């Protein structure tokens, strides 16, 4: 046991079982591999994407469907109100455009109501997998280097002849202007993850589970058609948790899945179970998920909490 660690800090078998049971009972559409859930595992819950609930930092745009429609209408009305005096034909065109805008905003309102805008995102399924092959986490923020003294701009303002003469003269003297370069914070970066899973089924039923998992993930990361084919609906969000000891590892903000790679000979040589075609699934499959979080990590959101499997937003 590591120094200064008590047995009370280690998740008990009862608490692990309770988390697994809670995960299974809360999901309306659960697929798991292997069939006997391991002690440590990865939970992937897919939910409907609600753009009105996602802001860059805190996901705090809590618009209801009706408020979203009102917002869109107000935006168009505000633009119309500041237009100069219009001719009769121009007013007719404006009124027709306003009518079409109202129809679109009402349609968006109904879509937001259907997908649960303003409330909790609707769960569309959960997948349980073993822990990834590698448990890699990274956190980046963006900085830029800026010149406090913009010598090149100063030289340019003096004119090319004078500026070039000054620069040439300093160079001949073995000198160069000091721009007093400094580092300026720009913005946080959205975290990116690559999760790789090696799955080797022991039974035909587990092979079916792998196939169902692949189908589920592919469908969840894909958009749908709406509005008579004129619009795409957003793919699902992926909520990842490493259970039960995420407090010792790392947590995830809600993610989008940008890339999903399936290697059907994950064990090396191409190998399939014996059986009558088409019931001869591959002996090993490797899944790689490239995820991109949709919320920033802010100060105070990193902690050793081991009770919340999914990262929560502070403030």
Give CA–CA dist 189/140, Å, rounded. 6
Residue 72: both structure tokens together: 């869109």
Residue 67 confidence (pLDDT): 53
Using one digit for the tens of pLDDT, what is the confidence trace for 63-73?
A: 444 455 555 55
Neighbours of 272 (CB within 10 A): 13
Q: Is 8 helix (H, G, I), strand (E, B) or coil?
A: helix
Cα-Cα-Cα-Cα dihedral sign, residues 242, 115, 292, 217: positive
Annotate 87-151 with DSSP letters as a single string. Answer: -HHHHHHHHHHHHHHHHHHHHHHHHHHHTTTTSPPPEEEEEEEEPPS-------EEEEEEESS-H
Residue 135 confidence (pLDDT): 93
Report the candidate in 310, 106, 121, 127 with the shortest Cα–Cα distance to residue 234.
121
Residue 259 confidence (pLDDT): 97
Cα-Cα-Cα-Cα dihedral sign, residues 20, 44, 117, 58: positive
Strand partners of residue 49: none
| CB contact at 8 A, 255 and 311 | no
Residue 54: both structure tokens together: 């996602």
Strand bridging mode 30-32 / 123-130: parallel
Give CA–CA dist 80/90, Å, rounded. 11
Residue 78 confidence (pLDDT): 61
pTM of the entire structure? 0.68
Residue 39 confidence (pLDDT): 84
Give CA–CA dist 231/229, Å, rounded. 6
| CB contact at 8 A, 213 and 128 | no
Give CA–CA dist 151/167, Å, rounded. 10
Helix (H) or strand (E) holding 146: strand 141-147
Show pLDDT as tens, one digit a residue, over the chain (315 residues): 444 443 334 444 344 445 455 545 555 589 999 988 788 899 999 998 865 555 444 443 344 444 555 555 566 566 555 555 566 676 677 677 767 666 666 666 665 555 444 455 677 899 999 999 999 999 999 999 887 766 666 655 655 555 566 667 777 777 777 777 889 999 999 999 999 999 999 999 999 999 999 999 999 999 998 878 888 889 999 999 998 776 788 899 999 999 999 999 987 777 888 776 678 899 999 999 999 999 999 998 888 876 655 565 543
Give CA–CA dist 90/94, Å, rounded. 6
Sorted by where each begins, the domain ranges of the chain are: 11-51+123-135+191-315, 63-118, 141-186
């Amino acid at each position: 046991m590591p120094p200064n660690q008590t047995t009370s800090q280690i998740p008990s078998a009862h608490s692990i079982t309770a988390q697994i049971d809670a995960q299974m009972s809360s999901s309306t559409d659960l697929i798991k591999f292997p069939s006997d859930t391991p002690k440590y595992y990865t939970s992937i819950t897919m939910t409907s994407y609600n753009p009105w609930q996602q802001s860059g930092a805190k996901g705090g745009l809590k618009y209801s469907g009706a408020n979203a429609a009102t917002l869109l209408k107000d935006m168009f009305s505000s633009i119309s109100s500041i237009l100069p005096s219009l001719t009769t034909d121009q007013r007719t065109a404006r009124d027709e455009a306003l009518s079409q805008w109202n129809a679109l905003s009402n349609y968006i309102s109904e879509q937001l109501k259907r997908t649960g805008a303003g409330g909790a995102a609707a769960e569309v399924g959960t997948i349980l997998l073993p822990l990834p092959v590698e448990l890699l986490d990274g956190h980046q923020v963006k900085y830029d280097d800026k010149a406090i003294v913009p010598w090149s701009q100063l030289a340019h303002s003096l004119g090319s002849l004078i500026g070039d003469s000054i620069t040439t003269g300093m160079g001949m003297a073995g000198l160069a202007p000091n721009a007093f370069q400094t580092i300026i914070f720009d913005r946080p970066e959205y975290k990116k993850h690559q999760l790789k899973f090696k799955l080797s089924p022991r039974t035909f039923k587990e092979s079916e589970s792998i196939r169902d998992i692949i189908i589920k993930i592919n469908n969840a990361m894909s958009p749908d058609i709406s509005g008579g084919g004129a619009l795409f609906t957003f793919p699902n969000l992926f909520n990842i948790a490493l259970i039960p000891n995420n407090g010792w590892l790392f947590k995830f903000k809600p993610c989008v899945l940008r890339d999903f790679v399936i290697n059907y000979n994950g064990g090396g040589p191409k190998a399939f179970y014996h059986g009558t075609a088409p019931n001869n699934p591959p002996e090993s499959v490797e899944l790689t998920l490239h995820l991109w979080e949709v919320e920033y990590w802010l100060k105070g959101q990193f902690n050793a909490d081991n009770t919340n499997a999914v990262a929560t937003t502070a403030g």
